[in-house]
Structure 1
Amino acid sequence: MIRNISKNIILGLAVASLSLPLAQAQVKSEYSYLEAFGPGFYTSDGSVYRSVSGKPGPQYWQNAASYTIKASLDDKSDRIKGSLTVTYTNNSPEDLDFVWFQLDQNLFNSKSRGQAIVPLSDSRYGSASSTFEGGYTLQNVKINNTQTTDYVITDTRMRINLPKALAAKGGQVTFAMDFEFAVPEYGADRTGILPTKNGKIYAIAQWYPRVCVFDDIIGWNVQPYTGPGEFYLEFGDFNVEITAPANHIVALGGELLNPSEVWTSTQLARYNEAKNSDKTVMIRNLAELTDKNSRPNKNTLTWKYKLINAHDVAWTSSAAFIVDGAKINLPSGKTSLALSLYPEESNGSNGWERSTEYTKASIEHYSKKWYEYPYPVAVNVASNVGGMEYPALSFCGYKAKGGDLWGVTDHEFGHNWFPMIVGSNERLHAWMDEGFNTFINEISTAHFNKGEYNMRYGNKNFLTQAIFNPSLEPVASSPQNMRERHIGYLAYYKPAYALRLLREEIIGPERFDVAFRKYIEYWAYKHPTPNDFFRTIENETGENLNWFWRGMFQNNWQMDQAISEVRYVELDPAKGALVTVQNLGKLPMPIEIEATTESGKKITTKLPVEVWERNKTWTFKLNSTEKLTKVQLDPRNVYPDFNPENNSWKTK
């Protein structure tokens, strides 16, 4: 088509370029607005189980599993023996012919899949040269009190076939079995044994056979446990009894039912004092570690615990524990108890003596900001596990001090919201717990003790080159499907960065926080998927964020905006300037430009991301009235521009 171009020619002559001509300055763009903003992001419609609004649907269901467990610790052989009874409820709309269990301790058997794929180089999840032989010995498997041999163990899973199909919509079955295993010294950084001068510290997790999740997404979730992926479990109640040597102190993430039987009278008085004190109270101090009278004069003691509406329990046992505690104040007026257990080696020099202070502050903040903490205790344990979370109990590195101890404590207790309350599938979607948690940790750290440890990481964008590196997998990949060295970037830092960007720059903190709280409220004690989160945020804020989810989560797209031209209107600085920005990368983002005039005045212009809905290049008028000395893209350094070298223009 031939059209009248005289007006365009005249306009081109009337404005003078102050930089390279546009045709010369342009670089090939990878951006496709059809790909970024195209429809069809959601590949399935809503259902009666999961609403298109992001809420659980009117017929949402999930199954339940409640456990009664009795176990004993042999600290001479480092073995645990136990028996469990599981009451399993099938709330699904279909009958079940079999039930799957997770046997995570089988990871530590030399023939496991997880051991076969441990690299020769250092790995968080184990050593290829390990000679430890772990795994379960299971006996006396019963269904409704009748012994059965109709089960198959495959690596870290066990399928128990039912003699009669378990009825849909409320059918119940009871399983029972005895189990025994050797505790690994270093169990994939999630369980282990720490030698100290006053005795071993046992960190006991993933320690009993657990029912797998059967859901409306993929049915039975039987992804093998190989180390990287964490957990996906059903909610229920726990009644647990742990028998250990009497000189040990045993703590589990739950309510201690028999404190008068396991504490000395002096320690019991201090324990009760801690429940009502905003300041840390010593329950067992350093001097008492070597005093045999600081523990009851018996061979063994049984500690009895209860935890309601949770999906797991973990515990610790040691003769080497200093113990202190304080009251946690919750918004409803209820209270919880912060407890810290740590060895002499962890005490002092801004170390674990502040653990209870950190635990209390962390939980009080999250309870007020997002959703009230539901558990009766919050137990922080110093161990050789660098940092691992379970409901109401965390294992943190015993050498941590200062900001490092605050950081790991705050992070692990933040996990009580993701995934302990909001029970997402960690084994497939690590970013939905690690990333969300890292995001709320940043806000918590800014508030703690007037910012004592705030901004330890410096510039907000200091990780851009790492977390948007083209060699990375997408955030949406499962942790088993990522290079191990990429997991920190993709499960933690990049999704946390994305949520901060969404909150602070794209939606705004007020609207985002309301939506995020709604997501927690909707999915508390339930099983959300990524789409449930995406839909909730979009519906609550009234924003179409498909472009954001595509680029930041489903793909590893890079952002690269560039100033290609700055020119005065009709050669007259008093009439303003025309600024041209190119979108070179595949990831669209809003535009923010700061122009500096000859007199030093700053002019800021912000444009929404929608300028890229049908454009690769965008020109806008800057309402300036004098000559410009500099024009800068992203002056606050808040966007993940992968190539900041082309973000500025300076006068010649």
Structure 2
Amino acid sequence: MRQVFKWSVLSLFSFQMFTVSAQDVIPNNQSDFNPIMYRQSSPYRSALGQPGDQYWQNQADYNIEATLDPEKNTITGHVTLTYHNNSPYDLNYIWMYVEQNRFTETSRGTLTTPIMGNRYSGDVDGGCDISNLEARANKRSKVSSKHVISDTRMQVFFNDPISAKNGVATVSMDFTYVIPKAGMDRMGRLETDNGIVYSLAQWYPRVAVFDDVKGWNTEPYLGAGEFYVDYGNYDYKVTVPYNYVVVGSGALENDKEVLTSTQRDRFAKAAKSDDRVYIITPEEVNDVDKTRPTKKGTLTWHFKMENTRDVAFATSKAFVWDAARINLPSGKTAMAQSVYPKEVSGDDAWGRSTEYTKGSVENYSNQWFEYPYPNAVNVASNVGGMEYPGLSFCSSRSKGAGLWGVTDHEFGHNWFPMIVGSNERLYPWMDEGFNTFINYYSAKAFNNEEYPNDLIKGRKSLRIYNSKNREGVDTYPDIVNTRNLGNTAYGKPGLGLIMLREYILGPERFDYAFKEYIKNWSYKHPQPSDFFNAMENGAGENLNWFWRGWFYGTGNIDLAISYVQSYKGDYVIVLENRGDIPMPVKLKVTYDDDTSEIKDIPVEIWQRGDSWNYLLKTDKKLKSVEIDPDKILPDVNSSNDVWPSDIYKD
């Protein structure tokens, strides 16, 4: 807490009559308003908060073939990476991630997990075997097999460098691993009455991001830190037993080979329906005669997805499957789909999943940026909630408000970080926090606010802000106390954006700047400084005080009404900033005739000091004054927000 000097109104006016000695230094709060971090233009990143005229990023295209063995619970596959080096640097090697190595006894993630475990505990009897690796920098280069695996990362060397500015390399390899049952709440196996549901993510070796900020981003996969991935085109095939169904990111390319004619007809009907249409009904689960085009052997499901940073899939013989049309603002359509076990198919549970998915995607498309993918697939899984492009894993146990909330959140992630590709491993607030923010408005829009979102709790839920163990939003996810992660990555940044929209800038200015940020950084890699610059330029506001106070510190908001005094027929309201973060003051003044008005006082009143005299000109008798009447700010001391103080009610 900064020191606040309290003066009566008369003392303040009297003090102004004296001349300050030339030897005195008047303290001010300029440091709160000074620039935060390096935010000047470079050829790669503009001070406007846009990519620079020489911005570059590399591209990663994948061709993958994988086979599930449900007897051994294994995936065996072959991947070919085509890597496009658009950077201005020749590259003698690349770094790749082998994230299945997280599931070993000696992985860094296992060894940094508390003895009592946490959400990111996982199996330790797994790990990925890599073989037959071949790397070629260009068509004339000799093949290299040299590689070094270090925990969840693999360095692949080339005999010749990958040329700068449009050089193309290929890396291929075979891989196999046991699918973990407990996959750190991101993937794994769910036992159901009619068979196992396999949720497959981080399921193939993939290249790390090489960017203009850090070079190679090689932070190990430990647990809480999620992903930072390049964009590219995917062509992948999954071979499973004939009685299994596969759903995946992207578009199914060979529906005539893997679906019955009845199922194809049902899909055609669903593509024109705003209500769910069953592809496989609850009664048809495990009825091979009705649900599978063949009665023996295996089937290979073929998917493609363009300009995406990842793909995931799920497979089972236990799926109920339904779908409905998603209506997009351009007039295009997509498909909402859900797969889930028969035992959770009721309308109080997963029977409404497609409705939730459709509502969520349509809302975000209308409000922020149009959904770019052909399908949005929700999978009932062992995973509590985890997002991938065009596909989400949500807990099979969720129902009602819980299922709406997790579905809306996971599909919101298609905007952050799937479309706007931030670095989740370092800056979770740029995806979790932004997504939490848009979830708030999505819940308001869905079905006449059927499931209210309580992100704004007024001043009745301040425990986390008053905790002695609180941490800043900028704390890395693998470092933060797991009990604080929900606030540092989700709640506090999400609430911060609501404050910025509803209290500081207003919806019109905020929405323009935020939409420009999304548009300019779609399918690209923004840094925190890019976001700050985009919002300040788009809204026309210096927000250094807000970024520093809310995103890069643990200070709190405590605006106060110190005193109210009549003065020459008007009133002087003495305001104080007793907290650590400057903030504009929104005052509701109410008069004896029970009329009221809002007075907006700018944040600049706190630049010189922590006390300000506001002159309220009126010919009415003042009855009461209240700071932030809509209770948007998490002000840690509500008792000093009203005058007279005896009218305050918690």
TM-score bracket, shorter-length normalisation = over 0.9
Deviation at 1:592, TM superposition (A): 2.2
Deviation at 1:121, TM superposition (A): 2.6
> What's the counterpart of residue 646 of structure 1?
640
Matches within 5 A, 1:551-630: 551-569=549-567, 575-625=569-619, 627-630=621-624
Verify: 1:157 aligned to 2:149, yes or no: no
Preserved CA contact (<8 Å) 1:378 1:393:
yes
Q: 1:160 & 1:327 partners in 2: Cα distance?
A: 43
Q: 1:466 & 1:32 partners in 2: Cα distance?
A: 29
For 2:69, give the aligned amino acid: D
Q: Secondary structure at the match of 1:69?
A: strand
Q: 1:238 to 1:530 in 2, by over 3 A?
A: same
**Alpha-carbon deviations, 1:562-601, whole Å to 9, x = none?**
222111125xxxx122111111111011112234444444
**Alpha-carbon deviations, 1:358-396, whole Å to 9, x = none?**
111111111111111111111100001010000000001
Deviation at 1:45, TM superposition (A): 2.0
Preserved CA contact (<8 Å) 1:568 1:578:
yes
Verify: 1:118 aligned to 2:113, yes or no: yes
> What's the counterpart of residue 199 of structure 1?
195
TM-score by length of 2: 0.92
> What's the counterpart of residue 21 of structure 1?
none
Q: 1:11 to 1:496 in 2, by over 3 A?
A: closer
When the two chains are superposed, the root-mean-square deviation of aligned CA atoms in Å is 2.0
Pick from 89, 94, 102: which aligns with 1:94? Answer: 89
Preserved CA contact (<8 Å) 1:630 1:651:
no
Deviation at 1:350, TM superposition (A): 1.5
Matches within 5 A, 1:206-605: 206-293=202-289, 294-295=291-292, 296-456=294-454, 459-467=457-465, 469-569=467-567, 575-605=569-599
Q: 1:337 & 1:557 partners in 2: Cα distance?
A: 45
Unaligned 5+ runs, structure 1: 1-6, 14-30
- State the identity as a percent: 47
- Higher mean C-alpha deviation, range 420-429 or range 260-269: 260-269
Q: Secondary structure at the match of 2:235?
A: strand
Q: Secondary structure at the match of 2:446?
A: helix
TM-score by length of 1: 0.92
Q: 1:78 to 1:582 in 2, by over 3 A?
A: same
> What's the counterpart of residue 75 of structure 2?
80
Deviation at 1:10, TM superposition (A): 12
Q: 1:46 & 1:370 partners in 2: Cα distance?
A: 26
Q: 1:651 & 1:189 partners in 2: Cα distance?
A: 48
**Alpha-carbon deviations, 1:175-219, whole Å to 9, x = none?**
000000011111110001000000000000001001000000000
Verify: 1:59 aligned to 2:54, yes or no: yes
Q: What is the number of equivalent residue pairs in this alignment? A: 621
Q: 1:397 & 1:219 partners in 2: Cα distance?
A: 37
For 1:368, give the aligned amino acid: N
Q: 1:9 & 1:241 partners in 2: Cα distance?
A: 79
Deviation at 1:135, TM superposition (A): 0.8
Unaligned 5+ runs, structure 2: 1-8, 16-26
**Alpha-carbon deviations, 1:318-360, whole Å to 9, x = none?**
0000000011111222211111000012211421111111111
- Higher mean C-alpha deviation, range 611-620 or range 168-177: 611-620
Deviation at 1:630, TM superposition (A): 3.4
For 1:99, give the aligned amino acid: I
**Alpha-carbon deviations, 1:28-77, whole Å to 9, x = none?**
xxx96122112x32425211100011110000000010000000001111
Q: 2:504 & 2:525 partners in 1: Cα distance?
A: 27
Preserved CA contact (<8 Å) 2:456 2:495:
no
Preserved CA contact (<8 Å) 1:183 1:193:
yes
Q: 2:80 & 2:439 partners in 1: Cα distance?
A: 37
Q: 1:214 & 1:11 partners in 2: Cα distance?
A: 60
Q: 2:242 & 2:186 partners in 1: Cα distance?
A: 25
Pick from 72, 95, 100: which aligns with 1:105? Answer: 100
**Alpha-carbon deviations, 1:517-536, whole Å to 9, x = none?**
11011001100000101101
Q: 1:8 to 1:588 in 2, by over 3 A?
A: closer
For 1:424, give the aligned amino acid: S
Q: 1:468 to 1:167 in 2, by over 3 A?
A: farther
Q: 1:539 to 1:245 in 2, by over 3 A?
A: same
> What's the counterpart of residue 20 of structure 2?
none
Q: 1:8 & 1:473 partners in 2: Cα distance?
A: 41
